[in-house]
Amino acid sequence: MKFRYLLAAALLPMLAGCTSGPDDGFVFVAHRGGDEMHPESSQEALTAAADAGFPVEFDLRKLRDGGWAIVHDPATDDSVRSVSGPIEDITGAQWDAARLSDGGRSGRTATWDWVVDELPDDVLLVPELKDRKITADDFAEAVRRAGVEDRVIVQSFDFATAKRLAGHGLDTLFLMTAKSAESPAEIAAAGISHVGPSKATSEARLRELKEAGLKVWVWTVNDAESAADLRMSGYVDGVFTDKPHALSGGRIE
C-alpha cells in the first residue's frame, strides 16, 4: 500500500506535463465537478472546477415544474438535505432551497440555468442527459437559447440520442461501456465528435476509436498511475475524474 502511494505521488509531475511538451492537450474533465473540496454536483464543486480551468461534467434531470436539476440519481439520497423523493416530483423552488452534505462538507444544489448564468463563459460544459424526459430536441433548443453552442459537449449513453444531438450540430460525446456494440466507423459517421469509453475498455478498442478520428475521453479514472498510462498511450485524449486537481498536478485551495 505504501509503495503504491509513493508511486502515485511520483507520477503526479508526469501528469502535469508529459509527452509532447508542457501542454499536450490532454484533458482532465471534472466529473460532477470533482469531490476533492466540496460535495459533488454542488455549486461550490462546479465553481471550483471551472475556476481552475477544468471542463465541468454534470448530470441533468427534469424537475416537476420543468427546470433541470444537476443530480446523478433519479431520487434523492442521504447527501440531499431539506427535500426527498424522486427528482421528477421536486419543484425548482424546493431544489434551490435544498442543500448537499458529504463527510461534513456542505454545498448548494445547482441547476442548468445556474450553470449557464454563473460559470465563466470560457469554461467547457459537459452535461449528460440522464433523464429521457429531457429530449435531444429540448436540449438543443436550451443550448441555443442560452447561447452556449460553442462551449458545450453533451453526453449520452444512448446511441440514438447521441446521434440526434449531433444532428442538431452540437458537439456530442457517446458514452460507452466495454460491451457497447457500435463500431468506431458507425459512431464517426453519425457526426459524433467524442467518445467516452469506460476504463475497462481494451487497448485495442481504444486504438480503433482514436484511429476513427474520434476524441477519446475515458471514464472514470481516479488514480495517478492509470491516468499517466492513458496520457502517454497516444490514443486517449483525456479522462473523466473525481480528482482533477490531484491528477493534473494542480493545487487544491
- Give the class (CATH, top level) of 2-60+115-248: alpha beta
Average pLDDT, the chain: 92
pLDDT tens digits, one per residue of 183-208 = 999 999 999 999 999 999 999 999 99
Q: What is the pLDDT of residue 19?
A: 32
With a pLDDT cut of 90, the percent of the chain lying above it is 87
Domain boundaries along the sequence of the chain: 2-60+115-248
For the beta carbon of residue 165, count every other beta carbon within 10 angstroms.
Answer: 30
pLDDT grade, residue 251 (50/70/90)? low
Q: Quick one: which of 102, 124, 106, 105 has its CA closest to 115? A: 124
pLDDT tens digits, one per residue of 95-147 = 999 999 998 999 999 999 999 999 999 999 999 999 999 999 999 999 999 99
pLDDT tops 50 at residue 178 = yes
Q: What is the pLDDT of residue 235?
A: 97
As a whole number of angstroms, the distance between CA 251 and CA 165 comes to 35
pLDDT grade, residue 16 (50/70/90)? very low
Q: What is the pLDDT of residue 179?
A: 87
Q: Are 31 and 220 in contact (CB under 8 A)?
A: yes
CA dihedral 37, 41, 44, 48 (to 10 degrees): 70
pLDDT tens digits, one per residue of 59-101 = 999 999 999 999 999 999 999 999 999 999 999 999 999 999 9
Determine the average pLDDT of the residues in 22-44: 93
As a whole number of angstroms, the distance between CA 227 and CA 238 comes to 9
pLDDT grade, residue 250 (50/70/90)? confident
| Geometric angle at alpha carbon 225, from 224 and 226, rounded to 5° | 95
With a pLDDT cut of 70, the percent of the chain lying above it is 90
- At position 224, the amino acid (one-letter code) is A
Please state the pTM of the whole predicted model.
Answer: 0.90
CA dihedral 14, 19, 23, 29 (to 10 degrees): -70
